Amino acid sequence: MKHENPHHKHSHPHSEPQHAHPSGGHAAHTGHDKHAGHTPEMFRDRFFVSLLLTLPILYFSEHLQDWFGYRAAQFPGSAWVNPVLGTILYFYGGLVFLKGALRELRARTPGMMTLIALGITAAYGYSLAVSLGLPGKPFYWELATLIDVMLLGHWLEMASVQAASRALEELSKLMPTTAHRILGDRIEDIPVSALKEGDLILIRPGEQVPADGVVVEGASTMNEAFLTGESRPVPKEPGDEVIAGAVNGEGALKVRVTRTGEATTLSQILRLVQEAQASRSRFQALADRVAGWLFYIALTLGTLTFLVWLALGRDFNFALSLAVTVVVIACPHALGLAIPLVMVNATALAARHGILVRNREAFERAREIRFVALDKTGTLTEGRFAVRAIYAEEFSEEEVLSLAAALEALSEHPLAQAIVEAAEGKGLPRPEVRDFQAVPGKGVEGTLEGKRYRVGRPEWAEELGLRVSEALKRGLREAEGRGESAVALMDEERVLAYFALADRIRPSAKEAVQRLKAMGLTPVMITGDAEAVAKTVAQELGIERYHARVLPQDKARIVRELKTQGPTAFVGDGINDAPALLEADLGIAIGAGTNVAIEAADLVLVESDPLDVVRALLLARATYAKMVQNLFWATGYNAIALPLAAGVAYPLGIVLSPAVGALFMSLSTVIVALNATLLRRVRLD
């Protein structure tokens, strides 16, 4: 089953497994990420320090003294308070934006960082020139408030969405750190990194497999759900392959190592995750696209303003001051808050509905989704077995269930627990068991009321040559046709009953599929389970498109193919889902899944309820709409302010002074803030 296995806890999180990449996927992920290496705390600290530096700058600002009709205190050197504080602010508060701008320009994708860097550099450079003797009024107050608001915006955004991706660390933790190597008649414990191809190792019951290999001796079952998505334990006998990270069941196995380190299946998934992270980060967010356009507009209009006024015979200082005003005004304060304020409200609303947002771009990607690919085990189903049918002759269902549950109560097997739960659900008595014995890879046996009974795989009955009636054979064929796991109850001579066990479908899965269709989306089921299982579940849920027997590396490939037909979301919960979660335009992890899936996802559904997928997509659409509205309010005033600042209406005696520009700016910031809070009114049910 796809719940994180308790045995995983034994691996040491701090030890460096043999295939852990020191750089992790983090470097790959952050190639185009404006927040590479940033933390909310860094923005918070810079914001508060910058705010303190801003207060004296505002007090000594010539513009503010003119507007509010006061005179700042004069003392020797008072004229240098603003240039000194402005310089500190530019390099301390603005450095993060300057570095970000360099990254964006190197990647040839100017965005928010480049626009802010342009605005503060123009304001700082011009102001310093004025302080050193150029005629004009400095823009230190504009520089300071712009840096403050942008730091605040980035802090709010990062605090609401902590998007550090630790998927690779989580994957690395899954590997055991030691292996038991067999040398002749003795066993030695060695680090997994020292294993070589061809080594013979011992895997005890309940332990994790340290490397890929082939069983040489012994019989057991393995829990491989974390990797393959196959919900039932897989029997292992000599000649069968085992995969690193799988958990051994009830029997001890001797295994010949075939692949170690980088070559193991788990390491290959690690690599897939890294590649997917690298390609995923090339998405340029909406605000960055808008900021990119504004950057080009500011540069073009600023240059044109300067050249046109010079050509019209105005002096250099006049042309320069108008050009700088244009560039500074083009970077609106409200733009820095337009998206973060929506994110703060969206993440709060999402959290109220049990949806955790790990990546702000999720909302932007989600609005266009056409296909929703859903993993079966643990997502549409609970990843827990239940008894669907009992096929019995001569005995009542209650009698055979009571006998089977008495034996299975002493077994650790997941199928055994399902039979015990079914008996407890009906309140059946449990006869006392004597001489209990577990037979690895077969089942269990014991004496009940003086008679010997066995419960186990149907193949065990064949090996023992027991009689099976035609009616029971029909029942077994029906269970196998549905892809269910069959368990046989036998006495010394014949099979008494078959129990058909199936992975339980989540109660809300059917409604979720119907609502996705009603939203115009196409649900597609992807599973590692057999064709028969997939077909049965798909029919019950009303899903027309499904893929069965899908290997972990193929999930990401199927998602890639779906993406060629339209934007695709993927919903999953296992390690094997991590590459597909990253490959999809929107990755949604079910909260009861593994940490790796959660780390690879954009959104996490805490309640493991498929209906939350619908809620998440509705919220994403509403959030995106609010983002667009806010960007309009944040930048819309530029349509009027920029031409006026450039002096288009100068012949009429109208030039946009920084004062009026500041008023426009404050107004758009207030509208943006109010509009963002309206998101909380969205109904998701």
The distance of Cα 617 from the centroid of its chain, to the nearest Å, equals 15
Provide the token pair at 573. Answer: 């919960």
Using one digit for the tens of pLDDT, what is the confidence trace for 60-93? Answer: 988 888 888 899 899 998 889 999 999 999 999 9
Predicted pLDDT of residue 420 = 93
For residues 320-335, average pLDDT: 85
Q: Let me know if 467 is exposed, middle or buried by CB neighbors in 10 A (0-12, 13-18, 19+).
A: exposed
Supply the pLDDT for residue 413. Answer: 80
In the chain, % of residues over pLDDT 90: 35
Q: How many residues can be counted in the chain?
A: 685
Residue 375 falls in the annotated catalytic set: yes
- C-alpha to C-alpha distances, 563 to 379, 466, 494, nearest whole angstrom: 21, 52, 53
Highest mean pLDDT among 178-182, 359-363, 440-444: 178-182
Kindly indicate the confidence band of residue 572, based on its pLDDT and cuts at 50, 70 and 90.
confident
Residue 500 pLDDT exceeds 90? yes
For the chain, list the domains and their CATH numbers.
6-18+175-275 (2.70.150.10), 31-160+283-331 (no CATH), 383-504 (3.40.1110.10)
- pLDDT score recorded for residue 94: 94
pLDDT at 26 over 70: no
The span from the CA of 241 to the CA of 234, in Å, is 11
Other beta carbons within 10 angstroms of residue 452's beta carbon come to: 13
Taking only the tens place, the pLDDT of each residue in 88-133 is 999 999 999 999 999 999 988 898 899 999 999 999 999 999 999 9
Q: Worst-scoring range by mean pLDDT, 269-273, 433-437, 648-652?
A: 269-273
Place of tokens 């426009």: 664
Strand ranges (E), 393-449: 433-439, 443-448
pTM across the whole model = 0.68
Q: Strands 443-448 and 451-456, how do they pair?
A: antiparallel
CA 619 – CA 353 distance, rounded (Å): 10
Confidence of residue 593 (pLDDT cuts 50, 70, 90): low
Q: What pLDDT shows up at residue 169?
A: 58
Residue 18 reports pLDDT greater than 70: no
Give the H or E element holding residue 279: helix 265-280
Among 404, 416, 431, 422, CA closest to 491 = 404
Q: Which of 148, 199, 212, 375 is catalytic?
A: 375
The residue with tokens 């919960």 is 573
Mean pLDDT, residues 240-256 taken together: 89
Of 408, 431, 358, 395, nearest to 165 by C-alpha is 358
* Amino acid at the residue 54: T
Give me the helices (H) in 76-209, please. 81-92, 95-106, 112-131, 140-160, 167-173
Element (H, E) at 525: strand 522-526
**Whole-angstrom distance, CA of residue 42 vs CA of residue 329:** 27
| Partners of 242 in beta bridges | 213
What does the pLDDT look like over 650-674, one tens digit per residue? Answer: 888 777 766 676 677 778 888 888 8
Residues 355 and 616: beta-carbon distance below 8 Å: yes
Residue of 20 and 43 predicted with greater confidence: 43
Average pLDDT of the chain is 83
